[in-house]
């Protein structure tokens, strides 16, 4: 039915008032092949000039090193603004503070503070590490304190429209978000969701609690439905029946799966835009094509003044059409 009211999503375009802002999340690679995939994804998405890009972080020492290495390379070789993830897991306050200092020395000024999952994975009860930060709110306070020595650090945190799996209720979960905001967090990024009504109801409850920082929706394009369903089960995110039906009988039809994935993601983000949302955080899974296509629908275009030819001797990864990631300076 034609209501006579034009859809906001038909008029989004970079540079216009109330333009769309995006950020992208990547994870540190474990193998040389995954390393190549990561940097191809970064190269593809960088010209869209995201607000920032975040890099996930695990509890293990080798994972921490991979995160730090990835963040340092982003600072050195791109014009992207990195946001490094940090958790409370398996480390003392002194050890975590040392990681924060290492990030700031590398030029990072934005940290995503998370409690983190128990080292044993799903099913293990979380317990604060002896001598460590108790929870995400405690970690935010520690980051803000460490940041005073370098002119300040921006801190983003997580929000859960369907509540964190360990929270007894949504209300208790929002209490924890309020504690994180009171400790100094200036942005919250949600766990991914597939029903937009969940997000809007959550915003109402957050607003009623007196929380006024941006609550940025986290969007997970469905690259692989079975993997997404398993991932959602671990995260406490619901997978609606209609979504499963859209991918039904497509296990051996990669081409159609890709088209359906694009349609599902487009439907979700355009509906959010029509309801006033202008900021999006994409969980890329280190894959660019689907995310790039969604951003194109949102009106984002490559910024030509931020695309330059990188020194091929430094291992540049070419973009489609001859584009290149802009160089921050050889030698945030």
Residues 6+ apart with CB under 8 A from 79: 46, 306, 325, 326, 327, 328
Residue 207: Cβ-neighbour burial (10 angstroms; 0-12, 13-18, 19+): exposed
Q: Which of 159, 153, 254, 272 lies closest to 209 in space, CA to CA?
A: 159
Tokens of 89: 């897991």
The helix (run of H) or strand (run of E) holding residue 112 is strand 110-114
How buried is residue 281: exposed, middle or buried, by Cβ count under 10 Å (0-12/13-18/19+)? buried
- Is 154 a known active-site residue? no
Joined together, the tokens standing for residue 112 give 């995503």
- Asked if residues 125 and 118 have their Cβ atoms less than 8 Å apart, the reply is yes
CA-wise closest residue to 242 among 294, 194, 191:
194
**Gyration radius of the chain's alpha carbons:** 20
List residues bridging with 85 in a β-sheet: 112
Both structure tokens of 330: 């050889």
Q: How far is CA 236 from CA 29, 125, 207, 229, 325, in A?
A: 25, 15, 23, 10, 36
Going by C-alpha positions, the residue among 218, 215, 284, 221 that lies closest to residue 24 is 284
Please enumerate in sequence order all residues whose Cβ is within 8 A of that of 331, keeping only pairs 6 or more positions apart, or say none: 76
Q: Tokens standing for 178?
A: 């309020």
Active site residues: 25
């Amino acid at each position: 039915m034609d209501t006579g009211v034009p859809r906001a999503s038909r008029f989004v375009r970079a540079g216009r008032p109330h333009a769309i802002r995006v950020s992208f999340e990547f994870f540190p690679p474990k193998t040389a092949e995954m390393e190549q995939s990561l940097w191809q994804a970064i190269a593809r998405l960088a010209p869209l000039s995201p607000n920032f890009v975040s890099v996930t972080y695990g509890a293990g020492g080798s994972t921490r090193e991979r995160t730090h290495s990835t963040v340092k390379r982003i600072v050195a070789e791109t014009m992207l603004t990195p946001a490094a993830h940090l958790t409370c897991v398996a480390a003392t306050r002194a050890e975590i503070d040392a990681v924060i200092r290492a990030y700031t020395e590398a030029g990072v000024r934005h940290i995503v503070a998370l409690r983190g999952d128990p080292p044993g994975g799903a099913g293990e009860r979380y317990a604060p590490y002896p001598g460590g930060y108790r929870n995400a709110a405690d970690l935010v306070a520690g980051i803000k304190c460490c940041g005073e020595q370098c002119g300040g650090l921006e801190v983003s945190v997580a929000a859960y429209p369907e509540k964190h799996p360990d929270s007894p209720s949504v209300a208790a979960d929002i209490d924890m978000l309020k504690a994180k905001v009171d400790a100094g967090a200036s942005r919250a990024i949600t766990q991914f969701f597939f029903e937009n009504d969940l997000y809007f109801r959550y915003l109402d409850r957050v607003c009623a609690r007196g929380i006024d920082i941006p609550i940025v929706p986290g969007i997970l394009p469905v690259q692989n439905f079975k993997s997404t369903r398993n991932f959602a089960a671990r995260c406490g995110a619901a997978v609606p029946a209609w979504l499963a039906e859209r991918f039904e009988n497509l296990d051996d039809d990669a081409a159609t799966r890709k088209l359906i994935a694009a349609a599902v993601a487009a439907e979700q983000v355009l509906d959010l835009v029509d309801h006033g949302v202008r900021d999006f955080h994409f969980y890329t899974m280190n894959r660019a094509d689907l995310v790039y296509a969604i951003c194109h629908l949102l009106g984002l275009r490559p910024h030509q003044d931020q695309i330059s030819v990188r020194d091929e001797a430094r291992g540049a990864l070419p973009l489609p059409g001859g584009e290149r990631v802009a160089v921050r300076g050889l030698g945030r």
